[in-house]
Amino acid sequence: PACTQEEVNKVMDAAKVAQKAWARTPLWKRAELLHKAAAILKEHKTPIAECLVKEIAKPAKDAVSEVVRSGDLVSYTAEEGVRILGEGKLLVSDSFPGNERNKYCLSSKVPLGVVLAIPPFNYPVNLAVSKIGPALIAGNSLVLKPPTQGAVAALHMVHCFHLAGFPKGLISCVTGKGSEIGDFLTMHPGVNCISFTGGDTGIAISKKAGMVPLQMELGGKDACIVLEDADLDLVAANIVKGGFSYSGQRCTAVKVVLIMEAVADTVVEKVNAKLAKLKVGPPEDDSDITPVVTESSANFIEGLVMDAKEKGATFCQEYRREGNLIWPLLLDHVRPDMRIAWEEPFGPVLPVIRINSVEEGIHHCNASNFGLQGCVFTRDINKAIMISDAMESGTVQINSAPARGPDHFPFQGLKDSGIGSQGITNSINMMTKVKSTVINLP
């Protein structure tokens, strides 16, 4: 359903009431319910994955993995939560100049209230539970605004939480158009925290939101820097996996290859050989490359490809598109004056920029307005660490393509790629605040 603003108000009221009781529910009981929800989610992996296949054209195998990964994430969150939140601190006053030992400060972590979670279309289940789990274990209630494509999968996922026995009103899913209820939700006075994953909308939200903690995972232009001494088979395998899985529709996809001229021909040839083997078609057939999410997305990708063509990029494959289905395409000899050198296609097209020095690669990477992840391929660990230090990215992977997981690792973007840090532990901490009680002795 397309929820109205009145319905959003009702959900917010219910979330506020439910949260008060939930915050008083023992931590071990909260964890127990999360474990139950995780098990139910995994039991229902097949129908939920079918929704993902139909709604967002995720390849069947990847869709099942997303649901299983989500169940694991919820269980891990429950375990991590009891440890983090089960600890408090005791501070004594006489360590600060001028104080006697007559004040004892007891501090612990308390919930924020109502958390608003907005996941993107590419992980409607996994990037929802990565917000739901931490919010709930920490004693918050949660309102989920799922993406339009992916809303049915999200509703089924939320149903699993309801089946586990979470109290009424504690977790609600508000479906509808962003244009109608988006601002209303993000600017709602009942919201105490916003966790958003998506594109530019996150920048607009951060400007409009009130004085509440924000966690934003936005776009990326993840660079893959390849040095001459790299294992070139490993490089090619990671470029294909990193750049083309789920048809490049991942914020952590490899989005530009910056490769030393001396090894460029060899790697391009190896990548092309692998691309030729990818299965292109409908997600039900477990194809590797499936239609991108919308026609406007396909048009945008095509715009980047045509711009590169006009400006002289080398097409390693013939550009082919049928509706929203775009065949994988590697663009060699891309130059910085081409849009694709900087913009995020979110599709199965990947630019290769040939470089003559490591500095040139780092310079290109750091000139981007994004800074999510990056990767470097070399057998020289000292060089790898130096390059990682120099890259302005939230994470740098050495000898592997960028990836968010394992889901307890910190995950963060610099610049326009986001604010705050995610990962299970960081999200639990972010969705709490410190509360102190000071005992004053006479």
Which residues here bind ligand G3H, judged by CB under 6 A? 122-123, 217, 250-252, 403-405
* Burial profile 55-80: b = 16 or more Cβ within 10 angstroms, e = fewer: bbbbbbebbbebbebbbbbbbbbbeb
Residue 161 or 411 with smaller CB distance to ligand G3H: 411
Is-contact 316 305, C-beta < 8 A?
no
- Burial of residue 89 (CB within 10 Å: 0-12, 13-18, 19+) is exposed
Residue 103 has φ and ψ, to the nearest 5°, of -130, 130
CA atoms of 408 and 72, how far apart (whole Å):
11
Q: How far is the CB of 143 from ligand G3H (least distance, A)?
A: 21
323 is written with which tokens? 């509706």
Question: Active site includes 302?
Answer: no
Residue 219 or 351 with smaller CB distance to ligand G3H: 219
Question: Active site includes 251?
Answer: yes
**Nearest-CB residue for ligand G3H:** 251
Residue 141 or 249 with smaller CB distance to ligand G3H: 249
Q: How far is the CB of 13 from ligand G3H (least distance, A)?
A: 32
DSSP 206-247: HHH--SS-EEEE----EEEEE-TTS-HHHHHHHHHHHHHGGG
Residue 354 or 404 with smaller CB distance to ligand G3H: 404
Residue 15 or 129 with smaller CB distance to ligand G3H: 129
Under 8 Å CB-to-CB from 419, ≥6 apart: which residues? 206, 214, 215, 216, 413
Catalytic, out of 55, 66, 80, 217: 217
Q: How far is the CB of 372 from ligand G3H (least distance, A)?
A: 8
Neighbours of 43 (CB within 10 A): 13
* Burial profile 346-363: b = 16 or more Cβ within 10 angstroms, e = fewer: bbbbbbbbbbeebeebbe
Q: How far is the CB of 210 from ligand G3H (least distance, A)?
A: 26
Tell me which residue of 304, 221, 317 sits closest to 275, measured CA to CA. 317
Catalytic, out of 251, 316, 365, 375: 251
Under 8 Å CB-to-CB from 297, ≥6 apart: which residues? 324, 346, 347
Q: How far is the CB of 188 from ligand G3H (least distance, A)?
A: 25
CA atoms of 149 and 359, how far apart (whole Å):
41
Q: How far is the CB of 401 from ligand G3H (least distance, A)?
A: 9
Residue 70 or 324 with smaller CB distance to ligand G3H: 70
Q: What is the CA radius of gyration of the chain?
A: 23
Q: How far is the CB of 318 from ligand G3H (least distance, A)?
A: 28
Tell me which amino acid residue 158 is. V
Any idea what DSSP says for residue 183? H
Residue 111 or 147 with smaller CB distance to ligand G3H: 147
| 37, HSE (Cβ side, Cα atoms, 13 Å) | 29
Residue 340 or 403 with smaller CB distance to ligand G3H: 403
Q: How far is the CB of 42 from ligand G3H (least distance, A)?
A: 18
- Burial of residue 440 (CB within 10 Å: 0-12, 13-18, 19+) is exposed
Positions annotated as catalytic residues are 217, 251
